[in-house]
Every structure is written in structure tokens, then in C-alpha cells.
Structure 1
Amino acid sequence: MNSNYYFKILFILLTYTGTACSAQQQIRYDLGKALKQKKLSFKAKQSVTPVVKDKQQGLSLNGIVWIKDLEFSTGTIEVDLRGKDVFQESFLGIALGKDSISYEAVYFRPFNFQSEDSLRRKHTVQYVSEPAFPWHRLREEQPLVYENATKPVPLASDWFHARILVKADEVQVYVNHSSEVSLSVKRLNTIKKGVIGLWTTGLKGDFANLVITK
């Protein structure tokens, strides 16, 4: 085979690689601006307010606040979060699903970050799939499979970074830019595509610097 053949093969490979890389889309959200521009969906009774006079510019909210006009299947979700160091009063993370009834979520219990109780520390980062697999069912039937301690361990009342890698059948969670996975689980939801939400219980949590790569 002559050299022209090899050059043609090389050109095809480089073109294919470039096309595959460029197909990946990264979207960054200034959550404060997104609120003003009405790019977020939430119920009237929910409290959603800007975080001001802080090193992070984001939102403080309760419930689930959905990102409008964004369909997500697989990729990476990154966000900065801040909870409270008050027992049973801080649950916050990211949801992916159809609506506030049928969704998956990865969330954190910051009040467990530095608990002296070793079991409580293992109840720090949690995966759930609502409504079929809530946290209490998973803890009872598959203890310490769908929840774990974070690696490293942030301070309970500080901002921390979460990177959630969503694959077709698996979810992996990384904290504070660590290369060590904090949680790696099999997905329990059959939803192939959905919308992304900033998730809390009825208690407030803070969110900033949302970046979605799909």
C-alpha cells in the first residue's frame, strides 16, 4: 500500500475524532441570572432567593427547582453546594427525571460529613430513585450500597463541589475535585431522558456554578 492510503486513513480517523469531541456540549449556568430570566421552574410556594454577599453567587432554595428547556440523558453534572451543620436539617443535591414524583437524585447530608459516629459518616452521599426506591427502602434492603462517605470530607457548613457522572446504567459521584469516587452505583430508574433539578427537601440549601456536559 502506498503512503497516500495511510494519509487518507489518518485523515479519516482525525476527522472522526474531532467530530466526536465537538459533539459534546457544555452548558454553564449563572443561577442568579437564570432566576431573573425565568429559566427555572418551581412552585409558587417554594422559596428561591439569590445568595448575596458571599464568595459564591448562586441560589438558596427548597424543594426541587427544575432547569427549563434542557433535556439530559447521559453526561456530567457539576455544581457547588452548601448545607448546614444541623442534625437532620440539611439534604441537598441534584435530581434527574420526568417531574417531582418520578426522578433519580444524588444528594448529600452535610451534617454527617464529620460526625464522630462512623456509621453516620457512611450515610453522607445518597442515591435514590423515586418513587420505587426511596432512601429508607434502599438502606433496609441494600445497606451501604446506595450511600457512602465522601472522599475527601468537606466541612459541614462550607461550600463543596460535586461532580456527578451519569452513564446509561451507572452513576458515579466525586467530591471537591478528587479523583477518588465517593459513590458508584447501578441506576435503578428506567427513564432514558429527563430534566435536571436542584434538589432539596423542604429545608433550604445553597447552589452555585452549575455546569452540565452532555
Structure 2
Amino acid sequence: MPKTFSLIVILTCCTIATGAQTITWKKQEFVLKNVTASVVKLNGEEVLKVERDLKALPFDINNMAATVDEPTYVKLQHVELENGIIEVKLLSRIQDPSPFEGARGFIGLAFRISENDTAYESIYVRPKNGQSEDQLARNHTVQYYSYPHYKFDRLRREAAGVYETYADIGLNEWITFRVELAGDTAKLYINDQKHPAFIVNKMKGDVTKGAIALWVDIGTTGYFKDLTITKK
């Protein structure tokens, strides 16, 4: 059964710096891109809460492919990564009420982000799918995409099954999420497993080095803690 958690005391709010909205968490500064964010206490732990800002970036259910898999994240300042390891613990819940009936708790990482947020790579999960009774939905638990040209819909259409997979995860539970980057390859390890849950053999983007961000999408309240980055 999913673990239950108590919630929430707001500790700090966003600030404005150099024209961009930012937040400081664990002595790290993040820029908000199409999201709202706050530092909160969850079961006594200080964590970062992130939700998509629908005023900054509206969602259109009739044009879903164009309004999801977008830069909706908090981007870490002053750190760039080409090859190495990004590890974070993440937990997602579906908003109540949710602006999207098909919300799955979309949460993950964006990396190799260009300076102006026009291109990046991402791996995220749909935790609700991980406990679905429908096998096809289970197969869509983990997702890779490359912004802006290779979102989930195009990858699913042109290479079905290659850029998605199943993972044994669920909503409302902490998930250890580790991405290892080496050249064109990205590997995802979940919950300290020995072998990767997911491998992207050749990422689609042209940006080989860039910023790192904590990413959420429509209908998700995402929580993050224990972010570490190891360069190689």
C-alpha cells in the first residue's frame, strides 16, 4: 500500500532576482519556469514543492500534444552537466481537483537545458500508471522525451515502446530517481536498483551540455528532496 504523509507548512516563498522568479532551497538557487514553487515541511522534512503554473503556460486538452512535455520546471542555477549522475528523491500526488482527468502524477528531471530553455532532454514518470490494472498503461510508466521536437506523442508514434517502459512505483511514495548520462546514452535507476530500469540508447537532442531542472506537468503536485549531482 502507498505510504501516507502529513503536510504542509510553508517555510519560504519565491523571490524576484534579475527579472526572473527564483527560489532558494538547501543553499541552491533555482529559477522558476512555468511553475510555482515553495519550500515546505512534509512529515517534518524540508522539501521542495513544485506545481505547473497554468497562468504562465495554459493547458489545452484539445491540443494536448502541444501543451504538455514543455519547460515546466525549477532550474538549478550555476550548474551545467554534460556527463555524470543526477540523483533526487521525488514524490507526486494528483491535484484535487485536477485540471486534467488523465493526470498521472507526471514528475521527473530535465537536463542538458539550453541557456534560453529552447531545448533540453527529459526523463519522467507517471506513478499512477505503475499500479494500473491495465498492462498498456503500465507500459507507459516511464517516459523519455527531447524538447522541442520529440515529445511523447511523436516518439510513441514513430518508435512505439522504445522510449517508454514499466516501473514498480506509485503515487504518494518517495521514489529514488537516478539518471546517469554518458554521451548520447541516458540510464535511469529507480529505488537503488542494481540494474537500470530504463535505457535511452541515443538521445534525440542536439544540446550536449546544459542546466538541470526538477520537472512536473499537468495536474501534479510534486515534491523533491536530496538532490545530488556528480560530474564525470
TM-score, structure 2 as length reference: 0.72
In structure 1, the partner of 2:125 is: 108
* Structure 1 position 200 matched with structure 2 position 216: yes
> Which runs of structure 2 are paired with 1:1-214 in the superposition (5 Å)?
34-35=24-25, 39-43=29-33, 46-54=35-43, 56-62=45-51, 63-84=72-93, 87-96=102-111, 97-98=113-114, 99-150=116-167, 153-185=168-200, 186-202=202-218, 203-214=220-231
* C-alpha deviation, 1:56, in angstroms: 4.1
Secondary structure of the equivalent of 1:161?
strand
Hey, which of these two has a bigger chunk of strand by percent? 2
Q: Distance in 1 between matches of 2:93 and 2:42?
A: 18
Secondary structure of the equivalent of 1:204?
strand
- Count of residue pairs the alignment pairs up: 180
Q: Distance in 2 between matches of 1:200 and 1:85?
A: 11
Aligned residue identity for 2:203: R
Identity percentage of aligned residues: 32
Given that 2:129 and 2:170 are in contact with CA atoms closer than 8 Å, whether structure 1 keeps it comes out as no
* C-alpha deviation, 1:170, in angstroms: 0.4
Secondary structure of the equivalent of 2:78?
coil
> CA deviation digits over 1:127-152, x for unaligned, max 9?
100111000000111011001012xx
> Measured at CA, do residues 59 and 145 of structure 1 come closer, stay the same or move farther in structure 2, by a change above 3 Å?
same
* C-alpha deviation, 1:34, in angstroms: 3.2
Hey, which of these two has a bigger chunk of helix by percent? 1
Q: Distance in 1 between matches of 2:190 and 2:199?
A: 12
**Which has the higher relative contact order, 1 or 2, with Cα contacts under 8 A spaced 6 or more apart?**
1
Q: Which has the larger radius of gyration?
A: 1
Given that 2:104 and 2:127 are in contact with CA atoms closer than 8 Å, whether structure 1 keeps it comes out as no
Q: Distance in 2 between matches of 1:66 and 1:116?
A: 35
Structure 1 residue runs without a partner (length 5+): 1-31
Aligned residue identity for 1:142: A
TM-score, structure 1 as length reference: 0.77
Root mean square deviation of aligned Cα: 2.1
